[in-house]
Amino acid sequence: MRNPLSLFIHIIVQVGGWALLSAAFLVTYDVIMRKIFNISIAGADEISGYVFAISTACAYSYALLTRANIRIDIVYNKFPKKLQRILDLLSMLLSAGLFGVICYFAFDIVYDAFRFGSHSVTPLQTLLAIPQTIWFAALCFALLTALVLLAQSFVAFVKGDDRRVVDLIGIPSVDEEIKTELQGSEISSHLDDVNDARLGEKD
């Protein structure tokens, strides 16, 4: 059963993914309309830009939660297990620090947008405070995710629960990556079996 943080992250990443897909369809439609009928949807590229920035910010939390963030492990794998756990903690600490710096400067951008009532220099005249606030909130949530994972893994490290630290913030092993891929294949195979069974019933 997923905890509230994990559940919320999975929700926002789903919303971000669907928003990104919708933006792609919008841009495709705009390109086709311009090519065939010489008609353009005002602001399609602008909207897609906002969606891309917000979706990317939403994906940061998911990447941290699923340990999908890329780390160079050529030297890492040579170290003793205890040192690896320390490096995992250091990595998450630096990640939290990076998101903290990003959020600090992002706040200035959002604050100025509210302060001056900034609008985009486009036909839409979008009030920039709206997309920028959503973007800033997603960045702050990424920072919160990093801090929660850091706190949980640090507690596990102090208790000597190395397995828990690995599960939270460690670099996935080759076996884990293979297992993940196989699980995806099993799901696809199961869906194929279900569809075949339904087709058989219809026949």
- What CA–CA distance (Å, rounded) separates 203 from 198? 9
- What pLDDT shows up at residue 34? 86
Q: Which residue in 122, 145, 126, 120 sits closest to 57, CA to CA?
A: 145
Could you give the 3-state DSSP secondary structure of residue 67? coil
Q: What is the pLDDT of residue 181?
A: 66
Is 96 in contact with 140 (CB distance < 8 Å)? no
Rounded distance between C-alpha atoms, residue 143 and residue 60, angstroms: 9
pLDDT for the residue numbered 199? 42
Is residue 99 within 8 A of residue 149, CB to CB? The reply is: no
pLDDT value of residue 62: 93
CB 67 within 8 A of CB 171: yes
Instruction: Enter the pTM of the model.
Output: 0.81
Q: What is the pLDDT of residue 189?
A: 56
Among 101, 92, 79, 78, which Cα is nearest to 152's?
92
H helix runs in the chain, sequence order: 4-37, 44-65, 81-116, 129-158, 162-169, 174-202
Per-residue tens of pLDDT for the chain, all 203 residues: 358 888 899 999 999 999 999 999 999 998 898 888 888 777 888 999 999 999 999 999 999 999 888 787 888 888 899 999 999 999 999 999 999 999 999 999 999 999 999 998 888 899 999 999 999 999 999 999 999 999 999 999 999 999 999 999 998 876 766 776 666 555 445 545 545 554 445 44
